[in-house]
Amino acid sequence: MWSYYRPQSRRFFYLLYSIYITIFLFMEENKNPLFSDIKSYVQTEIDLLKLTLLEKTARILAFVIGIIIASVFSLVALAYFSLMFYDMFASLIGSRLWATIIMIAIFLCLSVLLVVFSERLFLNFFIKKIYSVLFSPRDKSNGGDMQKTEQDSIKNNEVYEKADRVVG
């Protein structure tokens, strides 16, 4: 029963796989050189698709790991600054209880601000970064460096503005 279930996101890959199988079964019956050239071309295109998906997945994964590492270092720095401010408030006020209450109030205010502005601060950044990884034009002759023409940058700016309007 599970084999008959094909979700929407996998429909393209099922179609590609069925075309691939059909072409190779047809080519096995006909030993024409044209079919062998088509077979090698299709195999090359599939390999190129796999390598492109691997490269983009690796870039996204590197971005996510970088964000996680930066978050851990930021939390450590926040902990040290919290202890510093706690000691400063405790020495200024003379009471550890009131220093603790002040620190709790500061953290509550910061967390409310973070929740309120999280879409504008983080979501737009992540959308733009993932978009630039997935849909970036690549120049094959220049070692894979990103080359943007003026039209591509205008198109990307329009997409970013639309994403900002949807999110913001």
Query: 98 in a domain, yes or no?
Result: no
Query: 148 in a domain, yes or no?
Result: yes
In one letter, which amino acid is 21? I
Task: Report the number of distinct structural domains present in the chain.
Answer: 1
pTM of the model: 0.55
Query: 53 in a domain, yes or no?
Result: no
CA distance 160 to 127: 9
Q: How many CA atoms lie within 13 A of 157 on its CB side?
A: 7
Query: 135 in a domain, yes or no?
Result: yes
**CB under 8 Å to 160, separation ≥6 — which residues?**
128, 131
Per-residue pLDDT of the chain (168 residues; tens, 9 = 90+): 444 444 555 666 676 777 777 766 665 555 667 777 777 888 888 888 888 889 888 988 999 999 999 999 999 999 999 999 999 999 999 999 999 999 999 999 999 998 888 888 788 788 888 888 888 766 444 444 444 555 556 666 666 666 666 555
Query: 127 in a domain, yes or no?
Result: yes
Query: 121 in a domain, yes or no?
Result: yes
CA distance 39 to 43: 6
Per-residue model confidence (pLDDT) at position 163: 60
b/e per residue 144-159 (b: at least 16 CB within 10 A) = eeeeeeeeeeeebeee
- Alpha-carbon distances, residue 30 vs 7, 41, 123 (angstroms): 34, 16, 53
CA distance 18 to 28: 15
Neighbours of 39 (CB within 10 A): 16
Domain that holds residue 152: 117-168
Q: How far is CA 77 from the centre of its chain?
A: 26
Per-residue model confidence (pLDDT) at position 16: 72
Query: 5 in a domain, yes or no?
Result: no
CA distance 87 to 102: 11
